[in-house]
Amino acid sequence: MAPTTTDVPALPALDGLDWTSIGTALDRDGYATTGRLLDPEQCAEMIDLFDRDEVFRSTVEMARLSFGEGRYRYFADPLPPLVQTLRERLYPGLAGVANRWADVLGEDGWPAEHPDLVERCAAAGQHKPTPLVLRYGPTGYNCLHQDVYGDLTFPLQLLIMLNTPDVDFTGGESVFVEQRPRQQSRPMVVRPGLGEGVVFPVRYRPKQGARGYHRVQMRHGVSAVHTGQRHVLGVIFHNAR
């Protein structure tokens, strides 16, 4: 059974993140890999939580809504300590990137600390936590989409792979599609390893053109799983209505 302690988990990998390099990769590629953020035991803890109904506020059967094939569950408040710690400690670095993007796009900026973002969400009527765990079995996939949830949308989010690709499952690549103005869309495929994270835009990112910066829309999804089970932790920083 997964631990229920309220102790703050040790996440030493977060201290070594190079936010300058992450921001550069996001500007260049539209996504950035982080290296391993969670150890195997922490990944197993997240997978074990998936079958514990009391820690979730909502469950979505994807096929029922034509979202794909699979199941995902949104955590209830209070979030598990590991998820809460990820949300709070990753946010400041991401806010630095988000504020740089806001500046070049002429948008309002973002607070430096996550509790202040939660307060802004509440003022906008967005009270429901959005971190989630997703489970895909054979033939499971996720259609291209954006995780908006309300008028207030923090522009970056993170996924963390909880299984080992080509050992626990085959297939199931993370797919990102950049919709370029007046051009064909650009697909990107990413295969994070066990415990590794990928940072990517929720809706769009800035891109410099001949007339200055413009918004490039992005969507994300998952290709079909061939064998085994694929679990992912999704860390979204704004709350939902």
* Residues of the chain above pLDDT 90, percent: 92
Q: Do 147 and 239 meet the contact criterion of CB atoms below 8 Å apart? A: no
Q: How far apart are CA 179 and CA 229, in angstroms?
A: 30
Sign of CA pseudo-dihedral 21, 129, 241, 50: positive
Q: Quick one: how far is CA 223 from the chain centroid? A: 16
* Residues 77-119: tens digit of each pLDDT: 999 999 999 999 999 999 999 999 999 999 999 999 999 999 9
* Residues 5-60: tens digit of each pLDDT: 457 788 999 999 999 999 999 999 999 999 999 999 999 999 999 999 999 999 99
Mean pLDDT of the chain: 95
What is the pLDDT at residue 6? Answer: 54
Check whether 169 has a pLDDT greater than 50.
Answer: yes
Element (H, E) at 44: helix 40-49
* Nearest C-alpha neighbor of 175 from the set 122, 136, 210: 136
For the chain, the farthest-separated pair of C-alpha atoms sits apart, in whole angstroms, at: 56
Q: What confidence tier does 3 reach under pLDDT thresholds 50, 70, 90? A: very low
Q: What domains are defined for the chain?
A: 14-236 (2.60.120.620)
Arithmetic mean of pLDDT, 156-166: 98
